[in-house]
Amino acid sequence: MIKRIQALISSCLRYRLLLLVLLPVLLVMSAVIALSYLWLNEVSYQQLLMKVNADLNVAHEAFDNTQANLLADLALLAESYSFRSPLERNLTKDKEAQQIKPLLSELKQEHGFDFIQLIDTNGCDYWDTSRCNVKNSPLLSTALSGSPASGIDLFSSRELQEIDPQLAEMVYQPLIETPRTRPVNNIAENRGMVLHSYYPVIDAEQNVKAVLIGGVLLNRNFQFVDTLRDLVYSKGSVAENGLGTVTIFLDDVRISTNVPEQLNAPEQRAIGTRVSEEVREQVLTFGKKWVDRAFVVSDWYISAYEPITDVYGNRVGMLYTGFLEAPFRATYFTGLTLLLLIFTIVTIIAVLLAVFGAKSIYKPIEAMAKVIKTIEHGGEDRIGHLDSNDELAVFAQQFNGMLDTLQTQRTQIQSAADELELKVEDRTKQLKKQKIDLQQSIRLLKQTREKMVANEKLAAIGELTAGIAHEINNPAAVILGNMDLLVDELGDNAKPVVRETELIIQQVFRIRSIINNLLQYSRPDNFKEAWTDVDINKVVNDTLALVQHDLTRRNIDLNLDLRSSFKVKGNHQQFQQVLINLLVNAMNAQLKEGKITVRTRNWQNQGVLMVVKDNGRGIKEDTLPRIFDPFFTQTSGGTGLGLYVSSGILNRFGAEIRVRSRLGVGTCFYIWFYFDAKKHG
């Protein structure tokens, strides 16, 4: 939307001039609205906060005065003649009780005490020393020292039950789910908050003879909070439709309040609801006042909270005063709406004056704009006759002359551009052809260089393997001949070692096969291996017999997990040579006792996957790409041809080999054998 307005203003001079006229009005009115907002929102709101803070101070004083009055009521009775006379005449306990208990009952009824107790200096009932269940409070110690004391005490349900079962029933309050509160596990509040007063009874020798105790339970004490509300929020102290409220909290639970649970049902008090989490954190956790707007049960109130501390100095609850925010907000928005209405009317009047006053100025400009748009769309147009003779009219005529000149120059430029475009197109075609030829030459040069490097390597390997083959084949032939002679000479005596004899002969043939493979890889055009159906599981089992001795000697555990059922195209002996190379490398990679696993699986109806995995030392990441290079080895005494030859064998038979390794974890080789190996070879 903003971008569209910006585009409209930037494309039309009329709107620019209109904006210049309206801009001072907009700035002035915006400043007025901003100042009004600050005044209404800051000054007025601060006054509301000051008022609610003063309300809290009044409620605090009234709360303290109530405690002082209760203590004074106890003092009046304790110092009265009718109370002291029975205690000073050394009457029996029963006669003392007959004269004093009616006075205690009268004090309880007339002055709003929920319980009155008279105890001896041992903390037991004055007339029944078997009942020593008076609450252990610091106030008691103060009274026993001869000084009156009062404060807030928390009573458990059991302690109230011992005083009066009805008090225990009054304090039980299920917790009501309240928005914006902190989650808790308990479902009810069963403690009582008591205004506790102690007054010592002093005998003639100035010793404490007894202690008079009075308590007022604040839980559900609606008369108490209503009295505070009437004192703090007298008629006319809040706005019309405003609602002034006072609340006593035990911890964060409302135990006595005139805050309604719902605004449309003021007779239902919000007993059992809880304070919002942010208020609880500041007042109960940090012990600070809260003077700000707060969410109270179901609506926002201008609120003030302060902590209530018990006789031990612990924060056990809160005293709250507050009034509804909505009436003040309504007044605020009414004033702001009126201000916006005035601003809108002034703006409309300014727009009308600007539009009608500048109409004659816009006409030449609009005519020029119309001509420009026509030309932009490929048409031809000129500014017609104008009634005025001002500067804009002269400018319009000059504009017509400029358009004629531009039309002539445009025709000349277009002709030259057409000729230049033909030349550029022809030159571009030549450059594209030269680029293609250059890329082809670079590709051929790269392929030629790679072939030359490969041929040089193969030539070096061919010379080396030819010498090796000559030097090894002769001793191998001598070994075979002597083994045959040895078997013939021994005859039946050779039967105990026939398996070892066959294994020696088999390994000699394997040596000759390895030499032939080296020659074959260095001069592959001279060797043609027979392609047969190969069972990879049988290749693994046959290879196990050849390496079992080394595995046992090195104490290496070989696990076989052979589940493939397909046969693939290749050469059994060549695949066996590959597997031997991998197993030997795996054994050499073991640090101590190791484990080698060989798995086979049918692979996606395309062939067989064989996995050779060890838990040896692993291969470095920067070394991994070089392990298939000829003569590259990291094993002491190794030739570096094992993986090189194995890779060549697998490539000839269309198989693929990959490797993954981690230092300190081990190495895993994956070989994929295809059904249609010749297609991949």
Closest by CA to 243, choosing from 297, 290, 206, 309, is 297
Question: Could you tell me what percent of the chain has a pLDDT over 90?
Answer: 32
The answer to the question of residue 603 being in a domain is: yes
Instruction: Tell me the per-residue pLDDT of 267-285, one tens digit each, with 9 for 90 and over.
Output: 789 999 999 999 999 999 9
> Domains in the chain: how many in total?
2
Q: What is the pLDDT of residue 564?
A: 92
- Of 86-90, 454-458, 509-513, where does the model show the most confidence? 86-90
Lowest-pLDDT range of 17-21, 32-36, 239-243, 307-311: 17-21
Rounded to two decimals, what is the model's pTM?
Answer: 0.50
What is the predicted pLDDT for the residue at 133?
A: 79
**Model confidence at 153, in pLDDT bands (50, 70, 90)?**
very high
Inform me whether the pLDDT recorded for 195 exceeds 70: yes
Rounded CA separation 268/326 (Å): 20
Question: With 0-12 CB in 10 A as exposed, 13-18 as middle and 19+ as buried, what is 320?
Answer: buried
The answer to the question of residue 283 being in a domain is no
Residue 39 falls inside a structural domain: no
Average pLDDT over residues 388-411: 72
Q: What local confidence, expressed as pLDDT, does residue 617 receive?
A: 87
> What residue ranges in 445-562 does DSSP mark as E strands?
532-534, 557-562
- The listed range with the strongest mean pLDDT (13-17, 90-94, 561-565) is 561-565
Q: CA-CA distance, 163 to 169, in Å (whole number)? A: 12
State the residue range of the domain holding 652: 529-680
The one-letter code for the residue type at 151 is G
* 8 Å CB contact between 36 and 339: yes
Mean per-residue pLDDT for 121-126? 88
Question: At 461, is the pLDDT very low, low, confident or very high (cuts 50, 70, 90)?
Answer: low
Contact by Cβ (8 Å): 524, 645: no
Task: Let me know: does 551 contact 558? Beta carbons within 8 Å.
Answer: yes
With 90 as the cut, is the pLDDT of residue 63 above it? yes
Decide if pLDDT at 678 tops 70.
Answer: no
CATH number reported for the structural domain that contains residue 570 in this entry: 3.30.565.10
How far is residue 259's CA from residue 292's CA, in Å, rounded to a whole number?
Answer: 17
* Rounded (5°) CA angle 419-420-425: 105
Residue 290 β-bridge partners: 305
Q: What is the pLDDT of residue 39?
A: 67
Tokens representing residue 203 in the block: 């005998």
pLDDT for residue 479: 86
**Residue that the structure tokens 């005063």 belong to:** 321
> Whose CA is closest to 473, among 520, 411, 515?
515
What is the rounded CA–CA span in Å between residue 256 and residue 273? 10
Q: Which residues pair with 603 in a beta bridge?
A: 607
Angle at which helices 536-553 and 572-588 cross, to 10°: 30
Q: What is the model's pLDDT at position 59?
A: 94
Q: Residue 25: its pLDDT value, please?
A: 67
Alpha helices, DSSP H only, in 12-137?
Answer: 13-38, 44-78, 81-88, 93-111
Is 381 inside any structural domain?
no
- Residue type, position 446, single letter: K
Look up residue 525 and give its DSSP letter.
Answer: G
The average pLDDT across 579-602 equals 88
Strands 192-202 and 149-155: antiparallel
Query: What phi, psi does 451 have (nearest 5°)?
Result: -65, -40
Tokens of 596: 């080698």
621-645 pLDDT tens trace: 888 888 887 777 777 666 677 788 8
**Is the Cβ–Cβ distance between 334 and 300 less than 8 Å?**
no
Are 558 and 596 contacting, i.e. CB atoms less than 8 angstroms apart? Answer: yes
| Residue 286: predicted pLDDT | 94
What is residue 205's DSSP assignment? T
DSSP states of 108-131: HHHHT-SEEEEE-TTSSBSS-TT-
Q: At what angle do helices 44-78 and 81-88 cross, to 10 degrees?
A: 40
Using the 3D structure, point to which of 192, 217, 242 is the last residue of a domain: 217
pLDDT at 459 exceeding the cut of 80: no
pLDDT at 561 over 90: yes
- Confirm whether 102 is domain-assigned: yes
Residue ending a domain, among 186, 217, 248, is 217
Which residues, including other chains, have CB under 8 Å from residue 129's CB and lie 6 or more apart? Answer: 120, 122
569 forms beta bridges with 533
CATH code at position 78: 3.30.450.20
**Half-sphere exposure of residue 356, counting CA atoms within 13 Å on the CB side?**
5
Higher pLDDT, 570 or 389: 570
User: 622 lies in a domain?
Assistant: yes
Q: Which of 163, 185, 217 is the last residue of a domain?
A: 217
In a domain, 193, yes or no: yes
pLDDT of residue 289: 95
Task: Classify residue 109: in a domain, yes or no.
Answer: yes
- Cα–Cα distance between 431 and 437 in angstroms, integer? 10
